[in-house]
Structure 1
Amino acid sequence: MQSKINKLLNELNEQLNFINLEIDNQLTRCESAIDIILKTIQALKLTINKNSFKSEGEEIQFFKETKPQFVSKLIYYNTIFKIEMKKPNGGNRILKKYYNNELGKLKAFFDNELEFYKYYRSGSTYLDYKYFLRGKFDIKMSLDNHYFESDTKFSTSHDFKVAKILANDLIQLYLENQLILIDNKDGAEKSQRKPNIKMTWTGSKVALIELMYALHTEGVFNNGASDLKDIAEYFEHIFEIDLGQYRRAFLEIRARKSDKTKFLTTLNEALLKRMENSDEVI
């Protein structure tokens, strides 16, 4: 059963990465992601209904660690969709107030769930048998109405709370990034110290585009929440370079008959050679 679950999660991540690469519009991206995630969660539910957990430990592990990875993505994209749908028209001052209010909602959740948040973040396990076993809920633990409306064969009293915590981390990053973008548009000084040396990209544009797609695919910026367009604009800004039609360039890279990742392969070979050189001064 675990192999089927892992396959579902890997396929979901691949599909979401593809959506983030190909769709620039935030609302359209969220709609597509939500549709895919819902179908994947339904497949996950069918897998659980058709199979039995071998032990209580396996059941706890699924509802504490595995299922929240799926549901957190649904919460994230659905929340971002609602935030962007309700975004007011107006200047940067109005937008900053709006996004800060949304951050306030995240803090309110944190304050309301502080006890469980500490339990989960600290890696505690002494209440797992109540939190993450089906049918073991305790009414004294301030249960959400969501639990009573959910499928008890596919839910425990606290697996949704874990998913909410994971989603909120990404939502916070998204909101903070939007605020940074607004500040940059206003010409605000960056909080980080500016380097004394200006770095100029002297490689080819195609090489930089290949590197950019690789970094975005790996999700190394903002826990994978950064848009490809934002990364491209950031690269263009710091290197003062025009990447042009980088999506078309990516299609050309993908169409290469041999060594599709030519630049990345060169980087790998050069770094390995440097590591093998014992006389290299670090």
Structure 2
Amino acid sequence: MNLKKLSEKLYAELVIQFEETISIESPIEKFRTNLALVQKALAQLKIQLAQSGFADEAEEIYFFKKGKPRIYALLILITERYAIEASMPLLGKEKQIAHLKSQLFFIDRFFRQNEFLYQYYRLDAVDLDDRYFRRNRSSQLIGFAEVPDVDPTFSTVADYLFSKFIAYEKLQESIKQEIEMQKGGTDAVHKNAFKDLKWTGEAVNMVELVYGVFETGQVNGGKITLSELMEFFGQAFQVNISGYFKRFADIKRRKSMSKTRYLDEMQQLVSKRIEDSDAWIPEDQKSRYGF
């Protein structure tokens, strides 16, 4: 298995493994468990790199630009989240909100300190990839605000910062959501406005739907984890899909002609509606279609 495929495989496994640790009640135990999982994955990547190397320049660039950073970002994310939770004031909503806002300020300052490379990351630019994501390139190309001493055989000048960009964007979004919840703001209002909306179909159908949304990169330009999407859909429609990885395994084991039967049914019904769009709609059905 080449390093690109291995990094993608390990990342997918980590997402599932993290989901399985949700039931761990102790924050420190959950942190230690998840940290060990990420460290093990990184160790596997390092061993494979030492054994096989890269097939070509393109594989090296992909590995240090996307493959390794996605995994290393998980290590940064769980470490930062634990630190924020551990230092959170125990009492006082205003103090807790102030604590969360101070974290947002820190993240924003980090983005500004690394403005040039952060914009390169946001734009998904490629013109400097050869210099940023191949080993033994000079760090003097840009005055990076933060480049730690790293193993030159397993790192490049920019892969660490890309890892932090990925992690900090996710952390920034989760902190903003927590502040809104603390304030009882727009998120809470939105939730109350649609509190009666519930998923009444089979939970496995939602899992199939969310996988489709995830694989096609429809949310945040694809910069969202599968577990985050599952959590959003589950909360929005009040359905428990925490064991989605097991349900997906059931989908894979289906014996029917098509394993994606729910998505196939959706496609057929939407196509039928398009074909029937000019057809007469009975009065008692108009409300269903928004007339």
TM over 0.5: yes
The one-character-per-residue Cα deviations of 1:209-233 (angstroms, maximum 9, x if unpaired) are 4456566777868823649778655
Deviates more, 1:67-76 or 1:28-37: 28-37
Which blocks of at least 5 consecutive residues in structure 2 are unaligned?
A: 279-291
Check 1:232–1:62 CA distance in 2 against 1; reply closer, same or farther (3 A cut): closer
Residues 135 and 152, structure 1, Cα contact 8 Å, conserved in 2: yes
- The answer as to whether partners of 2:136 and 2:156 remain within 8 angstroms in 1 is yes
Contact 1:274 1:280 survives alignment (8 Å): no
Shift in Å at residue 112 of structure 1?
0.2
Q: Root-mean-square deviation (CA), in Å?
A: 4.1
TM-score of the superposed pair, with normalisation by structure 1: 0.73
Corresponding residue for residue 13 of structure 1: 12
Matched, 1:77 2:69: no
Shift of 1:71: 1.1
Distance 1:202 1:231 in 2: 9
1:121-149 deviation per Cα after TM superposition (whole angstroms, max 9, x unaligned): 2333343333222111233633566542x
Q: Which moved more, 1:123-132 or 1:167-176?
A: 123-132
1:88 alignment partner AA: P
* 1:122 to 2:117 alignment: no
Given the alignment of the two structures, is residue 162 of structure 1 paired with residue 162 of structure 2, yes or no?
A: yes
Instruction: In structure 1, list runs of 5 or more residues that go unmatched.
Output: 237-242
For the residues of structure 2 that align with 1:8 and 1:30, how far apart are their CA atoms? 22
1:53 aligns with 2:54: yes
Q: How does 1:113-152 map to 2 (within 5 A)?
A: 113-139=114-140, 141-143=142-144, 146-148=147-149, 150-152=150-152
- The two structures have a TM-score, normalised by structure 2, of 0.71
Residue 190 (str. 1) matches residue 208 (str. 2): no
Note if contact 2:93-2:182 (Cα within 8 Å) is conserved in structure 1: yes
Q: Which amino acid aligns with 1:281?
A: S
Q: Quote the sequence identity (%).
A: 19
CA distance change for structure 1 residues 216 and 178 in 2, over 3 Å: closer, same or farther? farther
Q: Structure 1: how far apart are the matches of 2:248 and 2:4? A: 32
In the alignment, does 2:175 pair up with 1:175?
Answer: yes
Q: Which amino acid letter does the alignment assign opposite residue 62 of structure 2?
A: Q
In the alignment, which residue of structure 2 is the partner of 1:239?
A: none
Give 1:76 deviation, angstroms.
1.2
Query: 2:277 is matched with which residue: 270, 275, 281?
Result: 281
Equivalent residue letter for 1:14: E
Is the 8 Å Cα contact of residues 147 and 156 (structure 1) preserved in structure 2?
A: no
Aligned-partner Cα distance in 2 for 1:252–1:110:
38
Structure 1 residues 39 and 13: alpha-carbon distance in aligned structure 2, compared to 1, 3 A threshold: same
Counterpart in the other structure of 1:240:
none
3-state SS of paired residue (1:190): helix
* SS in structure 2 of the partner of residue 133 of structure 1: coil
- What pairs up with 1:218-237 in 2 under 5 angstroms? 223-224=224-225, 226=228, 234-236=236-238
Task: Establish whether residue 153 from structure 1 lines up as the match of residue 153 from structure 2.
Answer: yes
**CA-to-partner distance for each residue in 1:198-252, whole Å, 9 max, x for gaps?**
8554836xx3x4456566777868823649778655544xxxxxx7x9879x999
Amino acid at match of 1:123: D
Q: Relative to 1, partners in 2 of residues 1:96 and 1:218: Cα closer, same or farther, differing over 3 Å?
A: farther
Task: Label 1:109 to 1:219 Cα distance change in 2 as closer, same or farther (>3 A).
Answer: farther
Q: Number of residue pairs matched? A: 264
Q: CA deviation at 1:13?
A: 2.0
Contact 2:11 2:70 in 1 (8 A): no
In structure 2, distance between residues paired with 1:280 and 1:84: 54
- Counterpart AA for 2:200: G
Aligned partner of residue 189 in structure 2, secondary structure: coil
